[in-house]
Amino acid sequence: MRDLVTGMRYLGKGQRWVARHGRWWGFGLIPALIALVLYAGVLTALAIWSGDIAAWATPFADDWGSPWQGLLRGVFVALLFAGGLMLSVLTFTAVTLLIGDPFYESLSEKVEESEGLCPPGTDRPLWQEIWIALRDSVHVLLRAAGFGILLFLLGFVPFIGQTVIPAIGFCVSGFFLAVELTSVAMQRRDIPVRERLRMMRGRKGLAVGFGTPLVLLFLIPFIAVVLMPGAVAGATLLVRDLVADEEEPPAADPAGAPYGQPAPQAGFGPAPGHLPPHSGRAPRQSPPAPHPQPGPGSSAGRPPTGW
């Protein structure tokens, strides 16, 4: 729960950052607007042809009577369009990041500079950066598609498929959306995609808390365009703290020992101030050591020379 709230806070921090830097907010709108036009056309075509797709996918129901045929194909159309919307949310971010790679790279660098330190980057040519971003996005989307197919099939389970499964689907979409949005700052640090997924899986609550509200908001027309620059800014702030947590060494006290462990003591026996409790009896006194007797030729008892 704590990570969920922290993820939401990073989303709010990113939106506040672009609100204070209006020029960068407008700069980040350009690739999102281009992607919005493309996706509006695709979703419109899906809505028009979804009935024909449902009939093609369920030929076994051609001879079914009313209302079962209409009910089955109506559920299929609803799930198909819902799946298309979720897939569009995931791929919208990936496509927008690909279209606007130079835009969002500059925006992310500006966010890091405003926080006091920006990693130098990898100095790769632009075409290579775009190719790596495309390859990594395909890797992430294939994983997301696997979960999407499973959730789509579970959607036909009565009651659970219409209540629990959609909620799980939003959380899964939010996780992968967070992975996509953090790719700009992660790629600057030359962190490979498998390592990014490992880091985000280690903080699932953080990723879900950041990405799931965006998934829900991106379902509202035009909101994705407005929020995209702030989402990139918030993801950059999230990566800064996530990487710092991964690299932070164990704390140590001034004596050089990690906190929670006693500092090494010189010599033998317990440290001063930490003597073991006695049993209530008087401590045993050791007999005094015998005084050594001077032997022949020894200098004991003579005055020191040089007086």
pLDDT per residue as tens digits for the range 107-163: 988 998 888 877 776 677 777 777 888 888 888 888 888 888 888 788 878 888 778
In the prediction, which pLDDT does 69 show?
Answer: 78
Write down the pLDDT at residue 63. 78
Question: 5-9, 18-22, 169-173, 298-302: which has the minimum mean pLDDT?
Answer: 298-302
pLDDT over threshold 80, residue 275: no
Query: Which structure tokens are listed for 39?
Result: 């996706």
Higher pLDDT, 144 or 244: 144
Asked whether residue 302 is domain-assigned, the answer is no
Residue 252 lies in a domain: no
pLDDT for position 96: 84
Q: Is 300 left (phi over 0), alpha (psi -120 to 50) or beta?
A: beta
More confident residue, 64 or 294: 64
Residues 203-242: pLDDT tens digits?
888 999 999 998 888 877 678 888 989 999 999 999 988 8
Residue type, 164: V
Give a yes or no: residue 76 inside a domain.
yes
- Is residue 20 situated within a structural domain? yes
Distance CA 191, CA 259 (A): 30
Assigned domain for 300 exists: no
pLDDT in tens, 26-38: 888 888 888 888 8
Angstrom CA distances, 184 to 51, 59, 190, 262, stand at 39, 45, 10, 43
Q: Compute the average pLDDT of residues 54-61.
A: 82
Domain that holds residue 49: 2-247
Segment 293-302 mean pLDDT: 46
Alpha helices for 155-264 (secondary structure H)? 160-181, 183-188, 193-202, 204-218, 223-247
pTM beyond 0.75: no
Residue 224 falls inside a structural domain:
yes
At residue 246, the pLDDT reads: 66
In a domain, 262, yes or no: no
11-39 mean pLDDT:
89
Among 227, 233, 161, 162, which residue's Cα sits nearest to residue 29?
227
How many domains, the chain? 1
pLDDT higher than threshold 50 for residue 273: no
Average pLDDT of the residues in 59-85: 81
Per-residue pLDDT band at 9 (split at 50, 70, 90): very high
Residue 43 has pLDDT above 70, yes or no: yes
Closest to 109 (Cα-Cα) out of 184, 182, 22 = 184
Q: Is residue 292 part of a domain?
A: no
Structure tokens at 212: 């799931």
Task: Tell me the pLDDT of the chain averaged across its residues.
Answer: 77
Mean pLDDT of the region 160-187: 87
pLDDT at 157: 82
pLDDT of residue 247: 61
